[in-house]
Amino acid sequence: GAVVSQHPSRVICKSGTSVKIECRSLDFQATTMFWYRQFPKQSLMLMATSNEGSKATYEQGVEKDKFLINHASLTLSTLTVTSAHPEDSSFYICSARDGSGGYGYTFGSGTRLTVV
Amino acid sequence: KNEVEQSPQNLTAQEGEFITINCSYSVGISALHWLQQHPGGGIVSLFMLSSGKKKHGRLIATINIQEKHSSLHITASHPRDSAVYICAVRFGETSGSRLTFGEGTQLTVNP
């Protein structure tokens, strides 16, 4: 079946630095990629939706200059957390939809970000 | 107000028990998904439903479009079924249509 590879799985960074998270679709073309954030014991919160070759659409309250999303190809989308602060510590997970028109969603394995 | 309601929030069962998790939603949908999230965080898509019933191994998912309700059943539950189960619905038809998530049900199956 469809697989989305997400890296890194865990990252610890210092305040003020930037962290890049990658999601790659294997064996299928991800026309649309969704980026989520999840706090402990809470549900997934959609941060932004990106379509290959165009600018991402951010949800209300999500700072587009802080959370940079790039979807340069049909198999790769990246989320960069810029100038990270401890409050950015969270679990980030991506999800892709197959560009062939199927309605299934495939999730990455997630990235646990800790900012110290 | 969350448009997707799940119950129960927490569920503890003994190995072998039959498990039911419920999901209700407020308006018409294109599809409903049941997801499983393990303690490490990874999410697996279990089912996608738009009508009727689907079965995969010990898992069964049903949906009643008229009543806007879905259930996930686990037969002969096992400790390895312990996870958070999430109901998510899609309201639109396009590839950009987002999922709206329920709060999740934390299932613990004791040996």
pLDDT at A110 over 90: yes
Among A44, A89, A92, A114, most B C-beta atoms within 10 A, so best to mutate, is: A44
A101 CB neighbours in chain B (<8 A) are 95
Give the least confident one: A35-39, A74-78, A101-105, B23-27: A101-105
Q: Tell me: the pLDDT tens digits for B76-95? A: 999 999 999 999 998 866 65
pLDDT band at B67 (very low <50, low <70, confident <90, very high): very high
B48 contacts A104? CB cut-off 8 A: yes
Residue-level pLDDT at A8: 96
What residues are paired with A115 via a beta bridge? Answer: A13
Six-digit token pair at B71? 């259930």
Nearest-angstrom CA–CA distance, B103 and A39: 12
Q: How far is A38 from B35, CA to CA, in rounded Å?
A: 15
pLDDT over 70 percentage in chain B: 94
Q: Does B72 touch chain A (CB under 8 A)?
A: no
Q: Are strands A19-26 and A10-13 parallel, antiparallel or unpaired?
A: unpaired
Nearest-CA neighbor of A91 among A60, A47, A52, A61? Answer: A47
Structure tokens at A79: 């989320």
Average pLDDT on B25-39 reads: 89
In this complex, the residue of B45, B96, B102 whose CB is nearest that of residue A43 is B102
Give yes or no for B76 touching A (CB within 8 A).
no
Residue B67, number of CB atoms within 10 A of its CB: 8
How many CB contacts within 8 angstroms connect chain A with chain B?
A: 51
